[in-house]
């Protein structure tokens, strides 16, 4: 025992030859090869944002197949990945379109060739309204959410100025965060919007953010369906008054398999399903498993151990500026006995209850992130990994596009 412990202690001091490639260096190595680089994810400079391509592709295929069976479509939300290359994979797999949360996000994706964008948030300032209608002119399949009469009138004016008739959908509140209250107010708004000369009403959105992370499949389905009752009635009222309800979009990664039961519902706006994260893994599966297994965790952050000299602790180079403060905390792959605290801006601090081996300064750990959307937003690029090798480096097209 003693000698094993001593050997363990000694091994803590062995240097490891991590190369520490930057994104630029990896890109340059990739450019000289046709398919896959000779760079292992273990040699990436850290913190590094990685996506397992086999799993990403499987997740995209799984959602698409599942929804096809339920006879509804997908309109994946790009707020999660902010990455034109991933949006393209989703569209190629059969998505009806791509959602964007902010006008700057929509513009950035469109500049990289992504079309059929639906902006799920209303734009209020004169500048954003003008930009949205300019985008509508350049991108005939662009769809803009609207949730007040004033906003609809402003959009119509800007559409006239831009020389387009713009597609719009009513954002019907499902919860109390955004959108017009369901029922009479939304119906009146829909009628008013439909009457405006430069807008073309296409239907409605109803996204119930609060339903996505309800713990337990049965409870989640109950909440998801209840949360859509009022918007489904609104949809029926719109239909009855002769309005277009060709789009009735909502739902997310936690509820994608439930909403085909909602009358009139057309497509799911899931975002996180491409990556998964600690939050979604924790919501539970239909078979009662506490882990949500519909999609495979594909997104990780590689980090380096900077310090191992304080009892029961390891310090890493990935803190809140690489992982955010979301809960549950980051999961260290292969080390369930480690509790990863990203509470420091620059450093992660791991409390080690137990570990599979001793760790040296310079060793790497791979983390499942707490919540994928805001973590991706912290990085300029994401490494696409096949097996252990880097296959591609994708820019996070709309990184930082919070406007």
- The single residue among 249, 255, 300, 304 that binds a copy of itself, judged by CB under 8 A, is 304
Contact 383, 389 (CB under 8 A): no
Sign of the dihedral through C-alpha 274, 173, 205, 148: negative
- The single residue among 315, 332, 365, 385 that binds a copy of itself, judged by CB under 8 A, is 315
- The single residue among 110, 256, 340, 379 that binds a copy of itself, judged by CB under 8 A, is 379
Binding to a copy of itself by residue 148, rule CB under 8 A? yes
Nearer to a copy of itself, 125 or 241 (CB): 125
Closest CB 313 distance from a copy of itself, rounded Å? 6
- The single residue among 141, 325, 356, 388 that binds a copy of itself, judged by CB under 8 A, is 325
Nearer to a copy of itself, 66 or 374 (CB): 374
Nearer to a copy of itself, 20 or 336 (CB): 20
Write out the H or E segment, with its range, that includes residue 146.
Answer: strand 143-146
Closest CB 102 distance from a copy of itself, rounded Å? 7
Binding to a copy of itself by residue 313, rule CB under 8 A? yes
265 three-class SS: coil
- The single residue among 139, 257, 377, 397 that binds a copy of itself, judged by CB under 8 A, is 377
Q: What are phi and psi of 203, to 5 degrees?
A: 145, -140
Q: Which of 213, 228, 214, 292 is nearest to 260 (CA)?
A: 228
Closest CB 302 distance from a copy of itself, rounded Å? 11
Q: Which of 289, 285, 299, 296 is nearest to 254 (CA)?
A: 285
Question: CA 313, CA 320: separation in Å to the nearest integer?
Answer: 17
Listed in order, strand segments (DSSP E) in 129-246 are 143-146, 166-171, 199-206
87-106: burial string, b at 16+ Cβ within 10 Å, e else: bbbbbeeebbbbbbbbbbbb
Region 127-146 residues binding a copy of itself, contact defined as CB under 8 A = 127-128
Binding to a copy of itself by residue 25, rule CB under 8 A? yes
Region 60-119 residues binding a copy of itself, contact defined as CB under 8 A = 79, 101-102
Q: Which of 63, 39, 31 is nearest to 271 (CA)?
A: 63
Cα 197 vs. chain centroid, distance in angstroms? Answer: 35
Question: CA 144, CA 116: separation in Å to the nearest integer?
Answer: 11
Nearer to a copy of itself, 236 or 361 (CB): 361
Residues of this chain that interact with a copy of itself (CB under 8 A) are 13, 15, 17-22, 25, 45-48, 79, 101-102, 121-122, 124-128, 147-148, 150-151, 154, 173, 176-181, 209, 304, 306-307, 309-310, 313, 315, 317-318, 320-322, 324-326, 344-347, 349, 361-362, 371, 373-374, 377-380, 399-400, 402-403
């Amino acid at each position: 025992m003693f000698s094993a412990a001593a050997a363990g202690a000694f091994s803590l001091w062995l240097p490891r030859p991590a190369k520490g490639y930057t994104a630029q260096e990896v890109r340059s190595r990739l450019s000289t090869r046709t398919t896959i680089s000779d760079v292992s994810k273990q040699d990436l400079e850290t913190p590094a944002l990685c996506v397992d391509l086999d799993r990403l592709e499987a997740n995209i295929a799984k959602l698409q197949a599942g929804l096809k069976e339920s006879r509804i479509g997908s309109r994946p939300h790009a707020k999660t990945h902010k990455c034109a290359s991933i949006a393209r994979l989703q569209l190629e797999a059969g998505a009806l379109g791509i959602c964007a949360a902010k006008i700057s996000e929509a513009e950035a994706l469109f500049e990289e060739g992504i079309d059929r964008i639906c902006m799920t948030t209303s734009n209020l300032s004169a500048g954003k309204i003008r930009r949205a209608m300019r985008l509508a002119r350049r991108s005939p399949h662009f769809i803009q959410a609207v949730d007040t009469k004033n906003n609809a009138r402003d959009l119509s004016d800007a559409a006239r100025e831009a020389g387009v008739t713009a597609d719009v959908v009513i954002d019907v509140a499902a919860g109390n965060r955004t959108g017009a209250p369901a029922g009479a107010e939304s119906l009146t708004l829909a009628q008013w919007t439909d009457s405006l000369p430069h807008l073309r009403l296409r239907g409605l959105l109803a996204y119930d953010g609060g339903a996505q992370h309800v713990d337990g499949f049965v409870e989640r389905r109950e909440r998801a369906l209840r949360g859509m009752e009022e918007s489904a009635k609104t949809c029926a009222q719109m239909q009855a008054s002769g309005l277009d309800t060709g789009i009735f979009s909502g739902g997310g990664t936690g509820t994608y398999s439930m909403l085909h039961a909602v009358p009139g519902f057309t497509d799911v706006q899931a975002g996180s399903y491409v990556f998964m994260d600690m939050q979604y893994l924790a919501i539970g599966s239909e078979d009662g498993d506490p882990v949500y297994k519909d999609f495979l965790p594909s997104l990780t952050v590689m980090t380096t151990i900077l310090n191992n000299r304080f009892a029961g602790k390891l310090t890493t180079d990935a803190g809140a500026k690489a992982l955010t403060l979301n809960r549950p905390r980051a999961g260290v792959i292969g080390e369930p006995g480690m509790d990863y605290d990203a509470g420091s801006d620059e450093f992660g601090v791991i409390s080690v209850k137990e570990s599979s081996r001793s760790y040296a300064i310079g060793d790497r750990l791979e983390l499942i992130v707490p919540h994928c959307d805001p973590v991706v937003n912290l990085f300029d690029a994401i490494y696409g990994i096949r097996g252990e090798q880097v296959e591609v480096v994708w820019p996070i097209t709309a990184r930082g596009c919070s406007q």
